[in-house]
Amino acid sequence: MAIERMLTEETPARVLIARVLAEAGIEYVFGISGGHTGRIISGLSQVQNQVRMVTVREESLGSVMAEIYGRLTRKPGVLIGQGPWVLGNGLLGTLEAYLSSSPMVLLTDFSDAPHFHLHAPYQQATGDYGSWDARRAFGGITKQVMQAHEPLAAVQATQLAIKHAMAGQPGPVAILFSHDALAGNVAADSNPGLYPTRFYLPAPPPPGDAKAVAAAADRIVMAQRPVIVAGNGVRIAQAYDPLQRLAEAAGMPVATTAAGKGSFPETHPLALGVFGTFGTPVANATVGEADLVLVVGSKLSPSDTAWANRKLLDPTRQVLIQVDIEPRHASWTYPAEEVVLGDAAVVLGQLVEAIGSRGAGKSDAARRRVAAHREKLGYFNAAEYSAPDAPLLPQRVIGELMRTLPEEAIVTCDAGENRILMTHFYQTKKAGGFLQAAGTGPMGFGIPAALGAKLVHPDRPVVAVCGDGGFAMTMNGLMTGIEHDIPITVVVFNNNALGWVLHGSGPFAAEFKDFDHAAIARAMGCNGVRVSEPAALGPALKEALAARVPTVIDVRTSLKVSFADITSPLASEASPRRR
């Protein structure tokens, strides 16, 4: 069958760009109209039953929502807005997408003035004298930068940006549109021609090399104490089910990196929790004693490896097998004896088939090994989960979340000490139930991440957990929640401080006034509850989960607990700060 042309009549470029997004199956575009990109938003009105424009109050919100959309759907999250502010304000989500491999497309502009680009016009980003250089600036934080100076190129660039954002290791791609590119039309008989967007979408990922899979499977079967380390790549590949099937088939306990937390249910008998610097003692002990470690979709950062402590990971005494879609990640921080390149979901499925019945009986032994470590070292059973202290201990807040939230709930985390405490103490009940920044540590991430997750999963409760510092950065996201009917719950660890800074460096420039964040939320039209006694938190959470509008629960929390209290001794003894 012959491939048809995209056009039968002359059409404005702005309308065609919107059509491309619809043809790619992208349901949401996030951002705010500005500069020449207002024309694209005008085009989106032609496909508003297929693509929903979510107008935010500031570009950082849109960038995080787009990053989360890409991370959860494997389709590019789209951020739209004017060049300087997509770069500056939108850096929050764009940098995260770049470092954690989330597919994303930035639709932005040169803010150029036709015929006057050599006269240093207001805000221009063409790189001419008197202008700033958008191509160079975006080039440092994206997979690729495309530029379109006429209408036909504007449409082609959009198709190719979607393709490149998804191909291989995903990531953000920026398109810089000139005024003329968005102001004109494309003729039906254009040369080069335009074709339907479906031909530009990447094919399903190919399987891993059969010999490499077989070799890895043989090593796993021969191992006595194998373990899996699951990273954010498991989430990006939506490989939750094959990961669990492999763990059960081969008798492999599962630890996650901090970035991979939520990729495996921590209630599973083979679950170890997060390993590394802020990991659980069970995870670190099990990984440390392993004779084989299968690393799936992780770059193995210094925090993951407790500053490369050999008691945790050591290729001279452990067999390392690595599964990754990016060849450059293989044997990056440690030499791997076996490497399988490919999509995590596909490769894990291949390993399940290759192991077959050879893993019979290993699962029971692995469960007993995990249970013994849990009995000795404790596992999500801290007495502080029920502590009566007021202000509330962070563990009590986290304990109430664990007791109250249903299995299908999604929790998003901000940055700072609250995130470290959540990573260590919060037990995920279902794969896909925990989201945090995987490549960066930006304050202000939790609320827009929750908004994005709720749009992707409207039937699942979504709770953002943040500190009072992070809440103040993106609390305007609650306005977007009201305007677009996105009923998330926000739990604020309110200790009147930047906890990480205060406990790490002292009180100077780390303390806040006491603000009533619940009252601020009510002023926006949200529900708002201030909790100062432990017994009040559970009922507040239940009421918030049943609400049809965003709810903020402002919890007066204690500063008695710090990140230092849960830092693994492995990290303390290997940290470069001690040298």
For the packed helices 59-73 and 91-100, what is the interaxial angle rounded to 10 degrees? 30
* Rounded average pLDDT over 219-232: 97
* Rounded average pLDDT over 33-58: 95
Are the C-beta atoms of residues 257 and 424 closer than 8 Å to each other?
A: no
Residues in the chain: 579
Are the C-beta atoms of residues 29 and 80 closer than 8 Å to each other?
A: yes
Which of the residue ranges 1-15, 17-31, 83-97, 345-359 would you say has the lowest mean pLDDT?
Answer: 1-15
* Residue 180 CB burial class (10 angstroms; 0-12, 13-18, ≥19): middle
Confidence of residue 510 (pLDDT cuts 50, 70, 90): confident
pLDDT at position 575 is: 72
* Rounded average pLDDT over 540-549: 97
pLDDT at position 578 is: 52
**CATH class of the domain defined by 210-377:** alpha beta
Pick the CATH number of 383-565 from 3.30.950.10, 2.40.160.210, 3.40.50.970, 3.40.50.620: 3.40.50.970
Longest dimension (CA), the chain: 75
Q: Which residues contact 177 (CB under 8 A, 6 or more apart)?
A: 36, 37, 40, 107, 108, 109, 110, 147, 148, 154, 157
Place of tokens 């990016």: 326
Q: Is the pLDDT of residue 46 over 80?
A: yes
Domain regions of the chain by residue span:
11-200, 210-377, 383-565
Amino acid 537 reads L
pLDDT at position 493 is: 97
* Rounded average pLDDT over 17-29: 97
pLDDT at position 1 is: 62
Structural tokens at position 485: 């009917």
Note the CATH number of domain 11-200: 3.40.50.970
Percent pLDDT > 70 in the chain is 99
CA–CA dist 423, 410 (Å, integer): 14
pLDDT at position 551 is: 98
Q: Is the pLDDT of residue 385 over 70?
A: yes
Q: Is the pLDDT of residue 579 over 50?
A: no
* Rounded average pLDDT over 551-565: 95
Are the C-beta atoms of residues 190 and 7 closer than 8 Å to each other?
A: yes
CA–CA dist 196, 272 (Å, integer): 47
pLDDT single digits (tens) 315-328: 999 999 999 999 99
Amino acid 543 reads E
pLDDT at position 577 is: 62
Fold agreement between 11-200 and 383-565 = yes
The predicted model scores a pTM of: 0.96
pLDDT single digits (tens) 409-452: 999 999 999 999 999 999 999 999 999 999 998 999 999 999 99
3-state helix, strand, coil in the chain (%, to 5): 45, 15, 40
Q: Mean pLDDT over all residues of the chain?
A: 95
The residues facing 12 across adjacent strands are 185
